[in-house]
Amino acid sequence: DTAVSQTPKYLVTQMGNDKSIKCEQNLGHDTMYWYKQDSKKFLKIMFSYNNKELIINETVPNRFSPKSPDKAHLNLHINSLELGDSAVYFCASSRLAGYQETQYFGPGTRLLVL
Amino acid sequence: AQTVTQSQPEMSVQEAETVTLSCTYDTSESDYYLFWYKQPPSRQMILVIRQEAYKQQNATENRFSVNFQKAAKSFSLKISDSQLGDAAMYFCALSNSNSGYALNFGKGTSLLVTP
């Protein structure tokens, strides 16, 4: 009964490839997020969806495209992967879209681009 | 712009002792929430404690407590009776309406617990 799950946990790929990371939450939450943690461990928001609608879209390359087929899922598709995309990507969810809400994180996906 | 600063990249504490991790922040909002998250070597992000800016009483969760000084914009985490399992990266984070509900994280403090 994992609350927020991500697949895969590890992803090794070549530059120029396209890859996807899937996220699912079984908490019944309305809001989901993608964060990127770089090699220095710094965490930064990338996207946020509330009830399948995009509410945050930080300055990330348009090679990154989130997709929310339903409110329990938020997938991240990355086109034309670059070396600098190597990082850990975390999915998170919260009950509602609000700054008072606690965000629950998935286990992370470590992406390595060679 | 909102910033969260953790000025201690690394801290060390002996088992059973107490350690305090520092966090300062800057925001123009009057209402916001502050969080401490723990990231052990397993990489999982775990909520440790949260504090609403309007509540004057400092939050406490078992061995974890905060010292919230709103005027000074300071939000430190105190860990009492430290255990080996407390060894992790600790991240301070701020959330308010300006952040679009996203968490703004500090750079983290790596806590080492020695026997």
Confidence category of residue A1, pLDDT binned at 50, 70, 90: low
Q: What percent of chain B has pLDDT over 90?
A: 84
* Higher per-residue pLDDT: B30 or A13: A13
Does the beta-carbon distance from B96 to A41 stay under 8 Å? no
Here the tokens at position A71 are 């409110």
Q: Taking chain B, what is the end-to-end CA distance rounded to the nearest angstrom?
A: 41
Q: By CA distance, what is A5's nearest residue in B?
A: B44
Does the beta-carbon distance from A42 to B101 stay under 8 Å? no
Here the tokens at position B92 are 């301070």
Angle formed at CA A27 by CA A62 and CA A37, multiple of 5 degrees: 40
B25 lies within 8 A of chain A by CB: no
CA B58 to chain centre: 12
* Rounded CA separation B18/A112 (Å): 38
Average pLDDT in the B94-101 region? Answer: 81
* Rounded CA separation B97/B84 (Å): 37
Q: What domains sit in chain B, N to C, each tagged with a CATH number?
A: 3-114 (2.60.40.10)
A8 lies within 8 A of chain B by CB: no
Q: By CA distance, what is B107's nearest residue in A?
A: A42
pLDDT in tens, A58-97: 778 899 999 999 989 999 999 999 999 999 999 999 998 8
Q: Which single residue is written with the structure tokens 């308010």? A: B96
Helix (H, G, I), strand (E, B) or coil at B110: strand
Average pLDDT in the B55-62 region? Answer: 91
* Higher per-residue pLDDT: B49 or B99: B49
pLDDT at B102 over 80: yes
pLDDT at A99 over 80: no
* Higher per-residue pLDDT: A52 or B6: B6
User: Is the CA virtual torsion B28, B31, B36, B39 positive or negative?
Assistant: negative
Confidence category of residue A55, pLDDT binned at 50, 70, 90: confident
Confidence category of residue A98, pLDDT binned at 50, 70, 90: confident
Average pLDDT, chain B: 94
Residue A63 contacts residue A84 (beta carbons within 8 Å):
no
pLDDT in tens, A10-43: 999 999 999 999 999 999 999 999 999 999 999 9
Q: What domains sit in chain A, N to C, each tagged with a CATH number?
A: 4-113 (2.60.40.10)
Report the pLDDT value the prediction gives residue B98, as an integer from 0 to 100: 75
Here the tokens at position B81 are 């009776």
